[in-house]
């Protein structure tokens, strides 16, 4: 707490010093969206380089002055929350003055900029985010208020502020879509093959889901596999869990798990399983653009097998959802595909 308060005080002191010199105050933030500020490291994933390009948020510029003011507003709210040991969600902050902030996305972006500027993880700023992810399987834990939660009984929201994590799981399976997650629960997949933990971020994972995956890895050190659609969007999501994202690269050390394996659905699986071409979906221009962007990323050059799978997809210009396996049989995913993959390999 003292570190957070001191960091905010230093920002305000710089603002006051500038005003005292009759200069327009400026806030300096690393440019989080610039790939030139990112480097790939096998043990971490995508991380921000120390000497990165910056953007200046000026108080005397008509385009940046509103953001300057909003950053000071949210800094003051964080300061009060840390002092009083209270917490708020990003949604709470937005609803304190919806007309002032304009939109939830503006608040989210400013909070990430503040976290990056102060070099302090967002959760230490007493700002919470509502988790959209779910976890189920061989896992139990105790919440901060003492409530005991058993994920074996049913799926529960991804919580990171939990203690006494207990599990006998042999692996963790991250599932892209909630529909597939629910289907595997219905098939009792968590118990049939061997005890495991299943997680879904319902698409692109939020911060809480990524933090939970990292916490489970740090605690249990068991294999983590991802089950994604065989399309550029699914690959992008897998890469976020494994390598991180550009916008959150300043927190890579707390979020990424580079040891994550891509279990499926692999582009090479489609040919191997003789999936009917009529069941595949042609690429859109957006798909081609997304795949081309992924192929240029630094981690692809370090992963020749991943590179080959991307080339297979690019050559075919076809994609497939996990549900395409139902064309083979209704329970092919849980009865054949996943057991065979886990037993005999075939992940990358």
Domains of the chain, start order: 2-128 (1.10.10.10), 134-344 (3.40.1360.10)
Smallest CA-to-CA distance from 269 within 239, 231, 224 is with 231
Structure-derived torsion over alpha carbons of residues 203, 207, 213, 218, reported in degrees to the nearest 10: 160
Please, which residues have CB within 8 angstroms of residue 293's CB and are 6 or more apart in sequence? none
**φ and ψ at residue 121, rounded to 5 degrees:** -55, 145
Instruction: Look at 240 and 54; give whichever has higher pLDDT.
Output: 240
Terminal Cα-to-Cα distance of the chain (whole angstroms): 41
Q: What is the 3-state secondary structure (H, E, C) of 1-46?
A: CHHHHHHHHHHHHHHHHHHHCCCCCEEEEECCCCHHHEEEECCCEE
Enclosing H/E stretch for 184:
helix 178-186
Mean pLDDT value across the chain: 86
Rounded CA separation 221/164 (Å) = 15
Please give the pLDDT value at position 162: 63
Q: Counting every residue, how long is the chain?
A: 348
The β-bridge partners of 30 are 54
Q: Determine the pLDDT at residue 154.
A: 62
Predicted confidence at residue 35, as pLDDT, reads 76
In tens, the pLDDT along 55-112 reads 888 888 888 899 999 999 999 999 999 999 888 888 889 988 888 898 988 998 899 8
Position 79 scores a pLDDT of 93
241 given a catalytic annotation: no
Angle at alpha carbon of residue 112, lines to 29 and 12, rounded to 5°: 55
Q: Which of 35-44, 155-164, 263-272 has the lowest mean pLDDT?
A: 155-164
Rounded to an integer, what is the distance from CA 175 to the centroid of its chain? 13
pLDDT reported for residue 297: 85
pTM listed for this prediction: 0.79
Which of 115-129, 175-189, 215-229, 313-327: highest mean pLDDT?
Answer: 215-229
Asked whether residue 116 carries a pLDDT value surpassing 90, the answer given is no
Confidence tier at 158 by pLDDT (50, 70, 90): low
Instruction: List the catalytic residue out of 95, 243, 299, 337.
Output: 95
Say which residues have a Cβ less than 8 Å from residue 222's Cβ, sequence separation at least 6.
Answer: 169, 170, 171, 172
Each residue's pLDDT tens digit, 168-210: 889 999 999 888 888 888 888 888 878 889 999 888 888 888 8
């Amino acid at each position: 707490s003292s570190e957070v308060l001191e960091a905010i005080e230093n920002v305000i002191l710089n603002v006051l010093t500038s005003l005292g010199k009759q200069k327009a105050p400026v806030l300096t933030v690393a440019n989080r969206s610039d790939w030139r500020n990112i480097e790939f490291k096998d043990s971490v994933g995508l991380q921000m380089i120390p000497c990165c390009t910056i953007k200046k948020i000026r108080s005397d510029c008509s385009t940046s002055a509103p953001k300057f003011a909003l950053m000071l507003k949210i800094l003051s709210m964080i300061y009060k929350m840390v002092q009083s040991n209270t917490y708020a969600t990003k949604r709470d902050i937005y609803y304190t003055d919806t007309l002032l902030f304009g939109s939830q996305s503006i608040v989210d972006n400013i909070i990430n900029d503040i976290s990056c500027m102060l070099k302090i993880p967002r959760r230490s700023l007493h700002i919470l985010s509502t988790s959209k992810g779910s976890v189920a399987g061989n896992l139990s834990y105790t919440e901060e208020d003492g409530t005991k939660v058993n994920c074996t009984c049913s799926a529960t929201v991804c919580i990171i502020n939990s203690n006494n994590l207990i599990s006998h799981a042999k692996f963790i399976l991250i599932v892209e879509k909630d529909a597939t997650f629910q289907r595997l629960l219905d098939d009792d997949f968590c118990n049939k093959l061997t005890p495991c933990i299943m997680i879904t971020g319902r698409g692109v994972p939020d911060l809480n889901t990524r933090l939970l995956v990292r916490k489970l890895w740090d605690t249990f050190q068991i294999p983590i596999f991802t089950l994604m659609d065989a399309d550029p969007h699914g690959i992008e999501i897998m890469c976020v869990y494994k390598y991180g994202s550009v916008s959150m690269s300043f927190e890579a050390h707390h979020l990424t798990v580079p040891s994550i394996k891509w279990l499926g659905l692999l582009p090479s699986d489609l040919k191997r399983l003789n999936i009917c071409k009529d069941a595949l979906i042609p690429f859109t221009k957006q798909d081609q653009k997304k795949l081309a962007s992924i192929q240029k990323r630094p981690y692809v050059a370090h992963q020749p097998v991943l590179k080959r799978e991307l080339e297979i997809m690019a050559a075919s210009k076809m994609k497939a959802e996990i549900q395409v396996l139902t064309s083979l049989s209704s329970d092919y995913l849980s009865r054949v595909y996943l057991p065979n993959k886990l037993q005999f390999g075939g992940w990358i």
